[in-house]
Structure 1
Amino acid sequence: MIKTRLALLLLVSITFGISAKAQQTDSLQRDTVIKIDTAQVNKFRIDSRRNAIPTRVRPVQLQRAQVPFNMLDYKVNYWKKSVTFGLNFSQSAFSSNYAAGGVSAVALGTNFIYHTEYNKAPFSYVSELNLQYGVSKNKDQGKRKTNDRIFFDNKLATQLSKNWYFFGALTFESQFDKGFNYAYVDPVTGIAATGPVQISNFMAPGYLTESLGFEYKPTNYFDLRLGTGTARQTFVLDKSIITHQPDNYGVDPNKTVRNDLAFQMVALFDKDIAKNIHLNTRYALFIPYGEDLRFITHRVDMVLSAKVNRLINVTINGTLLYDKHTARDVQATEGLALGMLYRFP
């Protein structure tokens, strides 16, 4: 029994010894392989410090070069032009036995505006020609004017600062046709005339105004002119109106022209105040030097237009005038029209 145990113990010891020897041999082989691989790698390794490629750093130099190219085929246009033409027509008819009464009538009104503008800093030039004429014809009556005006304004300016300019302006104003008073009463006798009497005509009166001064223009829709040096000539070339116009528009009855030196202020407002609604207003103040303050002239012209569609417009125009040389009291006119209005462009 004892011998058997000793034999088993010896067998186990021999087995453990052989296993340990095999592990030692494998470890030694792995170390050898690792050493051999490391040596091979070190053999072919390149030292970058000893084998660096030589380089030279040069400063970057920029030079201006002329590159040929072809100019675009276009021109700068400093001019802006526009044309506005309006035509209003109205008609009414009544039978002879119409119970509510009424008079058959036809009315026609026209309006033409030509506006041109030149802007090239520091100079600017603005010109506007405004022509208005309207007539109405009632049954059993002759034609009567409803509107009549010629207005031609020219202004040349040079810029002094952001909003201030020095300007020179030339303005002409008159009418196309004869004007009549259909309810004339003689101011001396108080007797009413039996028919219409002529009180105006082309160049009776006519006004030519030259003005120099300063202009304030903060926006493109507002313009204020201060004409510190203004001269105005008033023309009356039709002597037939003297009988019913005693003051003769301030012109001596023996002459055809009157000269005035004055201070003039003109304010212009031209803007769309709402969608499809445009307001154009012009106020002119004229203070003649050397005359009484009661001869100061005020004039307001206003045009309010509402666009219905591309061609149809509703227009309200009015004028308010205070001029002692033409009437004792304030004069006013107003008109409402529905018609065609065409603007180009």
Structure 2
Amino acid sequence: MKKVLAIFCLILSVVSQAQVTDYQKIIDSISQKKWDSTGVDLDSLSNPKIVDIKRIKKDSIKLNNNLVIVPGGEEAGPITPSTILTLPTLKRWFIFGQNSLVFNQSSFANWYAGGNNNIGVIGKANYNIVYKKNKHYLDNNIQLGYGFVSSTGQSTRKTDDYINVMTNYGYELAQHYYLSTGFQFLSQFTAGYNYSNTPDPVYDDRISRFMAPGYLNLGIGVSYNPNENFQVILRPANGKFTFVLDKKLQVAGNYGLERDGQSMRAELGAMVNILYKIKLFKDATFVNQVNFFTNYLEHSERVDINYSGSLNLKFNKYITTVVTLDMMYDHDQIQKLQRKQTLGIGITYNLGYKMERDSNTGVIKPFL
């Protein structure tokens, strides 16, 4: 009985070993086929082929609708040709808008030091709409601002009011040099008053209003723009037109008018515009812009000077402080320096496309 049992166990062991071997062969065959299909052919590395990858000068992303993200687009300040023309895509629209709203309010009740209840609001909008193809570009900039303050016992008073529309066409002549031609329109929304002379003015006390004055500059020349922080525009042929369309204000001497009843004054001369942006630190930018104009036809030694400075301090995505200083000297208007200064802390909201890089992964994320 023991011999029979031993023979049975030996036969069972041989049969099972044969089955395991067959199964192992099948498994090995499958594994080999998978390796052959996915494995790297090491012999092919002895003769590598280099694929040419187009180099991109700056980080950018092209969207399907031809809108692109401009590096640094979220920063305050004018867009220069260098920023646009260094982008790699052949055809693009760039749209960016910055809107800000500033509130200030004071209220007093039984306050020994005294005071007057007041509330003030200033709203500003700044939009860039740019088209670029090959060496051509068209830059449109719209700047609007209006503000007022209302105090107990006083009429509502205007604190800021301007319309500034600029269009500029450019063509790249050589590295950093561009043909430049375009126009600029300046005016205001509502009537202005001299509150020192008329503390409680009526409409007949106005000293200005829309298109009284209004300014139009047209010119052609060249510009030098080595980077996005510096630009010089020289227009040796530039027309400056001053409009006063309010008959009450068409008085000789007002806004450079030469005679009573004159509605427009034309000047032909040369214009130089210089832009210089300084990044003080990460969230602080100081933008300087100065404009010079001299009249060929009369008193060319009298140079009109217009300076605008803007200090932008960004606390976070929405809270921004803006300090502006505007100074102007125009001998034909008044032989004194004109100055305007504003300080605002409020909400800033950006519309359009801009660029944001993930600090952890380095991936650029576009968002609207």
Q: What is the TM-score normalised by the length of structure 2? A: 0.68
Which residue of structure 2 aligns with residue 248 of structure 1?
254
Q: State TM-score, norm by structure 1.
A: 0.72
Aligned partners of 1:158 and 1:167 also within 8 Å = yes
After alignment, is 225-234 or 118-127 more displaced? 118-127
Which 4+ residue blocks in structure 1 deviate beyond 3 angstroms?
Answer: 73-77, 193-197, 270-273
**SS state at 1:202 partner:** coil
Greater C-alpha radius of gyration: 1
1:154 touches 1:170 (CA, 8 Å); kept in 2?
yes
1:333 aligns with 2:340: yes
Identity of aligned residues (%): 27
Is 1:93 paired with 2:116?
A: no
Aligned residue number for residue 154 of structure 1: 167
Among 169, 173, 194, the residue aligned to 1:181: 194
> Cα 1:242–1:138, aligned 2, differ >3 Å: closer, same or farther?
farther
Letter in 2 for 1:307: K
* Deviations 1:232-269 (CA, angstroms, capped at 9, x unpaired): 111000122346xx512112322211111010011123
Q: Distance in 1 between matches of 2:199 and 2:146?
A: 27
| SS of residue paired to 1:304 | strand
What is the RMSD computed on CA atoms of the aligned residues? 1.9
Q: How does 1:144-293 map to 2 (within 5 A)?
A: 144-184=157-197, 196=201, 197-242=205-250, 246-251=252-257, 252-270=259-277, 272-293=279-300
8 Å Cα contact 1:294-1:324 kept in structure 2: no
1:65-113 deviation line (CA, Å, top 9, x unaligned) = xxxxxxxx95654221101000000100112x42111111100000001
Structure number with higher relative contact order (C-alpha < 8 Å, ≥ 6 residues apart): 2
Unaligned runs of 5+ in 2: 1-62, 67-88, 354-368
Secondary structure at 2:196 match in 1? coil
Q: Which runs of 5+ in 1 are unaligned?
A: 1-72, 185-192
Give runs of aligned pairs for residues 52-201 of structure 1, distance below 5 A.
77-95=91-109, 97-184=110-197, 196=201, 197-201=205-209
| Letter of the structure 1 residue corresponding to residue 340 of structure 2 | T
Query: CA 1:90–1:195 in structure 2 vs 1: closer, same or farther (change >3 Å)?
Result: closer
Question: What is the aligned length?
Answer: 262
Superposed CA deviations along residues 145-196 of structure 1, whole A, max 9, x for unmatched, are 1111100011001111101111111110001111111223xxxxxxxx6754
Whether contact under 8 Å (1:124, 1:158) holds in the other structure is yes
| Distance in 2 of aligned mates of 1:326 and 1:139 | 34
* Deviation sequence 1:275-307 (CA, Å, 0-9, x none): 111222221111111222564210111221111
